[in-house]
């Protein structure tokens, strides 16, 4: 509105069109027919389930993985992910007719009945009905018929049947005993409440009780249990066990120094020095590198943030909260899934395309690095709203790099080291995923910045392995490779929030 106007502002809009280069292919006609049967059978009304299934690649149907490797043929569907899609009724035979389908995920739905007794030629991974049916066992040609209970019997089934994982299952009575009747609350969040507890061997633990009371209601419980039961690394949180009767709960090792977000922004009496911050950054990067490079299939955390980096008594960084994690085969460049994460940490390319890759975690880790440098949250509200990377760019453009450094450091840092970490962080938050480094490259660059560690001080290393992909000898060799010497830091007592988010996560958790 101009100064002399007596009318309110006028807002105009215009449409912008951009050229998309189209490849001369369409999805296989048989797969198109079968997916139309699936769409009709489950009455699916997804917004982007229109047009060709696989073309253009950037706009393939959400939840589908297409194989473009054979350039002279129409792409085939090799993966279907309809997890948490509200599916009801029986398993449609259309899936079994898709001759190229290798991975079918129908978990966290309300499916009933058995798996069709049908010859399966291509399916390697089939996740179905874990809410009611448990996980079926498969032969090389066809799955066995699991016997499923009706939804009315679910509470009884949950009481009787544990998950098919090799970790301890706690009873509700045991949880009451461990937590002294849920007496000591150490954290709360959108997921539920975290309690402090003591095991029978005097080990301290935390018990994360979810707001949901059944697996059917929770979208995070099973992914976190299944992921953490398979991964073991010194920089990943250790899951001691779970409970699935009367409540859903996860039991972890207690981290006496809380999380990184607390120490960066609430540490009035104690402040991390520059070297401690670099060590925590390296710890976290090593945990993510393990998920991306050492696990088969690769695992993307999807919710990397300072609140999900816990700290043990020696200030060793531990990645936690795997409720949003996803695994995908390296044979495929990405998986298509609805964007999820926490405001301020979310990869813009993933948010725009719904195509998840390991570079999604790299972007979030870049925001974590900027928080470590500045002590600021990912979104600044005062006096204007800024995204942290933009705030850093503006400050550096107007002054010097010292203007962005956390005042709690009291100028006690190496300027060249600071410059290198800022460069690395800004490299990680590049808009295009292809311009970002891998976590292996991040780890390598951080290691160069840390001083040599005295040999007399060491950290014990947990066995670093994916239990479903390495045999005993490989685990032994891998453990020798990752054992390394680290400084023990001075003692400090802090609280524990169990990863309570500072801002509303986009996933609604």
Which positions are annotated as active-site residues?
Answer: 303
Q: How far, rounded to the nearest angstrom, does the alpha carbon of residue 307 sit from its chain's CA centroid?
A: 13
Partners of 480 in beta bridges:
none
CA pair distance 309, 304, nearest whole angstrom: 8
Tokens for 127, please give them. Answer: 């996740």
CA pair distance 252, 190, nearest whole angstrom: 18
CA pair distance 394, 307, nearest whole angstrom: 26
CA pair distance 360, 36, nearest whole angstrom: 31
**Torsion angle of C-alpha atoms 244, 248, 253, 257, degrees rounded to 10:** -170
CA pair distance 259, 312, nearest whole angstrom: 9
Q: Are 62 and 96 in contact (CB under 8 A)?
A: no
Cα distances from 261 to residues 305, 378, 500, in angstroms, run 8, 11, 10
In 3-state terms, what secondary structure has residue 327? strand
Q: Where are the beta strands (DSSP E) in 8-141?
A: 64-67, 76-81, 88-89, 103-106, 110-111, 125-128
In 3-state terms, what secondary structure has residue 44? coil
Cα distances from 41 to residues 66, 125, 167, in angstroms, run 21, 22, 37
Q: Tokens 């899936």 belong to which residue?
A: 95
What stretch of H or E contains 393? Answer: helix 388-398
CA pair distance 187, 317, nearest whole angstrom: 19
Tokens for 26, please give them. Answer: 């369409």
Q: Is 487 exposed, middle or buried (0-12, 13-18, 19+ CB in 10 A)?
A: middle
């Amino acid at each position: 509105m101009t100064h002399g106007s007596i009318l309110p502002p006028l807002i105009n809009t215009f449409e912008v069109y951009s050229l998309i280069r189209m490849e001369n292919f369409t999805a296989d006609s048989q797969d198109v027919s079968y997916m139309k049967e699936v769409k009709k059978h489950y009455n699916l009304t997804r917004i982007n389930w229109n047009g060709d299934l696989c073309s253009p690649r950037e706009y393939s149907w959400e939840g589908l993985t297409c194989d473009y490797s054979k350039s002279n043929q129409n792409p085939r569907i090799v993966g279907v992910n309809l997890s948490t899609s509200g599916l009801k009724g029986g398993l449609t035979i259309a899936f079994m007719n898709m001759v190229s389908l290798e991975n079918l995920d129908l978990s966290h739905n309300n499916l009933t009945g058995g798996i069709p007794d049908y010859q399966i030629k291509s399916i390697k991974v089939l996740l179905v009905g874990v809410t009611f049916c448990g996980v079926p066992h498969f032969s090389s040609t066809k799955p066995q018929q699991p016997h499923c209970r009706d939804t009315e019997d679910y509470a009884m089934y949950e009481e009787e049947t544990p998950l098919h994982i090799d970790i301890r299952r706690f009873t509700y009575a045991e949880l009451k005993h461990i937590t002294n009747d849920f007496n000591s609350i150490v954290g709360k969040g959108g997921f539920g409440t975290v309690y402090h507890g003591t095991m029978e061997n005097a080990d301290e633990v935390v018990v994360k009780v979810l707001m949901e009371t059944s697996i059917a209601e929770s979208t995070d419980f099973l992914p976190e249990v299944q992921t953490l039961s398979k991964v073991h690394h010194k920089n990943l949180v250790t899951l001691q066990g779970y409970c699935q009767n009367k409540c859903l709960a996860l039991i972890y090792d207690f981290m006496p120094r809380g999380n990184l977000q607390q120490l960066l922004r609430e540490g009035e009496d104690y402040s991390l020095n520059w070297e401690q911050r670099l060590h925590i950054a390296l710890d976290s990067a090593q945990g993510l590198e393990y998920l991306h490079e050492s696990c088969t299939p690769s695992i993307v955390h999807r919710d990397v943030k300072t609140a999900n980096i816990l700290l043990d008594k020696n200030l060793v960084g531990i990645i936690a909260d795997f409720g949003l994690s996803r695994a995908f085969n390296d044979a495929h460049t990405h998986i298509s899934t609805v964007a999820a994460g926490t405001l301020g940490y979310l990869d813009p390319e993933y948010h725009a395309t719904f195509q998840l890759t390991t570079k999604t975690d790299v972007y979030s880790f870049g925001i974590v690095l900027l928080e470590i440098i500045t002590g600021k949250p990912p979104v600044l509200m005062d006096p204007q709203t800024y995204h942290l990377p933009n705030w850093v760019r503006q400050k550096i453009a107007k002054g010097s790099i010292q203007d962005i450094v956390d005042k709690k450091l009291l100028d006690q840092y190496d300027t060249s080291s600071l410059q290198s970490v800022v460069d690395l962080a800004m490299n990680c938050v590049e808009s295009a995923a292809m311009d970002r480094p891998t976590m292996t490259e991040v780890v390598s660059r951080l290691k160069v910045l840390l001083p040599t560690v005295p040999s007399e001080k060491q950290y014990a290393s947990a066995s670093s392995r994916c239990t479903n992909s390495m045999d005993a000898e490989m685990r032994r060799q891998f453990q020798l490779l990752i054992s390394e010497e680290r400084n023990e830091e001075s003692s400090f007592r802090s609280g524990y929030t169990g990863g309570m988010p500072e801002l509303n996560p986009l996933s609604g958790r």
